[in-house]
Amino acid sequence: MRNLLELKDIKKTFKIKDASDSVVLEGINLQVKEGEFLAVLGPSGSGKSTLLQIIAGLIPSSGGTVSYLGKEIHGVNPGVAMVFQSFALFPWLTVLENVMLGLERKKMSAADKKEKSMQVLDIVGLDGFENAYPKELSGGMRQRVGIGRALVSEPDILLMDEAFSALDVLTAENLRRDLLELWLDKKIPTKSIVLITHGIEEAVYMADRAVILSSGPATIIKNINIDLPRWRNRKTPEFLA
């Protein structure tokens, strides 16, 4: 399969006032292939969110290149969309309006944007909630809105930054399963998923491959293929190993 995304020698330093620069990422080389579910594991504060924001083009790197479909990206990456741990919904907008934001950059009529967003709400299990406000929803439903807003633009790569971490155990499990099913059954056109997590079990349950980051500065210290058949059973010796 071809490479959708390629990171070459990515470095990130933050300037700290009255102190020496803090180096967060160093020498990150990473490829995401078409059809791949990649988990990025690392300790808290190691630079995972920074890495994802660089992939999305939301912040610039301090060195190295990000390429999407073989072309270097400067600015927002057109092939990705992001789901945040904190949901990052706009409280004054309805569920439908929040999802429609995912189409803001697309040249489509307002009517088409609405129709597309309604279809996505159906896919993520929010049919009938289009006029609700985020505060009227449970955490799991809020994150479904977050996922819908990302999916509506039909990104090649879905970036998920600890997207299940803020949810209770059962809600997180349902959402993981629903997302995996949408992706495995090709009910969404998303080709690849990059999931940032600090949960080893979550990575082994969902991903085809995991890379592990060290911290201070973060660099990739391990690359592990997870070729267990799906759906995976957490109680098998292979899973536990």
Nearer to Mg ion, 126 or 194 (CB): 194
| Alpha helices (runs of H) in 57-194, residue ranges in sequence order | 95-100, 110-123, 139-151, 169-184
Nearer to Mg ion, 49 or 171 (CB): 49
**Alpha-carbon torsion angle 155, 159, 163, 169, nearest 10:** 90
Nearer to ligand ADP, 19 or 170 (CB): 19
Four-residue CA torsion sign, 219, 224, 73, 152 = negative
**Shortest distance (Å) from residue 25 CB to ligand ADP:** 8
Q: Choosing among Mg ion, ligand ADP, none, which partner's interface includes residue 24 (Cβ < 5 to 8 Å by kind)?
A: ligand ADP
Rounded-to-integer distance, Cα 45 and Cα 218, Å: 9
Question: Can you give the binding site for ligand ADP, defined by CB under 6 A?
Answer: 14, 22, 24, 42, 44-50
Question: Can you give the binding site for Mg ion, defined by CB under 5 A?
Answer: 48-49
**Shortest distance (Å) from residue 48 CB to ligand ADP:** 3
Judge contact between 215 and 230, C-beta under 8 A.
no
Rounded-to-integer distance, Cα 92 and Cα 15, Å: 34
Spacing of C-alpha 32 from chain mean position: 13
**Shortest distance (Å) from residue 91 CB to Mg ion:** 22
**Shortest distance (Å) from residue 56 CB to Mg ion:** 13
Q: Choosing among Mg ion, ligand ADP, none, which partner's interface includes residue 13 (Cβ < 5 to 8 Å by kind)?
A: none
